[in-house]
Chain A
Amino acid sequence: MKEPKYLWYNQEAGTGNESDDLLDQVLKSDNMMPLPDDFADRMAAKAVKRYILKQSLSEFFVYLGVILLAAIIFCAVFYFTSPEAWSRWGNVLLPRWNLIAGLSTTGLFVFFADRVILPWLIFSATKAPRH
């Protein structure tokens, strides 16, 4: 007679409870392929990198806002207190608008690099996962 291969686990009781037990065992067993060992490290590094970028960007925009606000207040006070001097300075600066725009853009980039790009690069260089 052929040997039974699947019947062994419900031969004793014959009530189907053994099948339930087996099902429970299978359903509760963790037999899936696990994530790599360094998964948590990599994810943590990514998360912190994003956090640093987000923080640096928000700090940058706060500083930029404060500087722009201060400049606007200064210009407004200057304009209302001394309109003649304002127009004199205007006559001096307006023809050199390209120079001023270039200097402002350079300053803005240096400031952005200092506040955002540099911290992000430094973190990436030190915390990058090694494979």
Chain B
Amino acid sequence: MTDKELVQQVRNGNQHACRFLVAKYQGLVNHMVRRILLRNEVAEDICQDVFLKVFSRLSAFRGEAKLSTWIATIAYHTSITELNRMKGKKESSLELLPVTSVPVSFEPVHAFETEEVKKILLTMIETLPVHYRTILTLFYLEEFSYREIEQVTGMPEGTIKNYLYRARYLLKSKLEKIQQNERAEIFMV
């Protein structure tokens, strides 16, 4: 079933089509909402809000963009609005922090397996500014193109590339810092 056919079916009130649409895009919405809000306890409610908005605005969907991009746009704006409502100025003050000062707390001595290193990296992702997290999620997890991310977030392509590079650079440098710390520890012992 193509996106257009799916949208038409949903507009006609077909419950199976509605279920199919939600099942198809719930991963995308869930990833975006959780990565932006970082709060599991409200994530489900926000995902519900997103899909209710999707259903109520579906008559405005003209098929110019992909349905996934359109839904991601709604998920992005809903999450950002909710984030602003929840955190107020707290998050925006985090945005103003220089990227090098993103706090990372980890205990190298507790990590040994690859999974542990991955967990530390995931924690680091959560400490990145919200726009970095959003772009990383859309680009790597959802495999959106720059053009699609531009449609979702409204940021110019250059900014997206810059954020992507800086987010990756930050994570990589933190990872290497852990390695350096450990190297130093090994030589000290």
- The reply to whether A6 and B171 contact each other, CB–CB distance below 8 Å, is no
Instruction: Pick the residue among A7, A25, A44, A52 that contacts B183 (CB under 8 A).
Output: A7
Q: Label chain A's interface by main secondary structure.
A: helix
A-B contact count (CB 8 A): 117
What's the Cα separation between A26 and B121 when bound, in Å?
7
* Chain B facing A: main interface SS: helix
Q: Are A2 and B13 in contact (CB under 8 A)?
A: no
Most B CB within 10 A of own CB, among A22, A36, A40, A47 = A47
- Which residues of B in the span 175-189 have a Cβ within 8 Å of any Cβ on A? 175-176, 178-179, 182-183, 185-186, 189
Is there contact, CB below 8 Å, between B112 and A5?
A: yes
Q: Which chain B positions have C-beta within 8 A of A95?
A: none
Q: Is A32 an interface residue (CB 8 A)?
A: yes
Determine the interface band of chain B, counting residues with CB < 8 A from chain A.
Answer: 35 or more
Interface residues on A, range: 35 or more
A41 touches B19 (CB 8 A): yes
Chain B interfacial positions (CB closer than 8 Å to A) = 10, 13, 15-16, 18-20, 22-23, 26-27, 30-31, 34-35, 40, 43-44, 47-48, 51-52, 55-56, 108-109, 111-112, 114, 117-118, 121-122, 125, 136, 140-141, 168, 171-172, 175-176, 178-179, 182-183, 185-186, 189
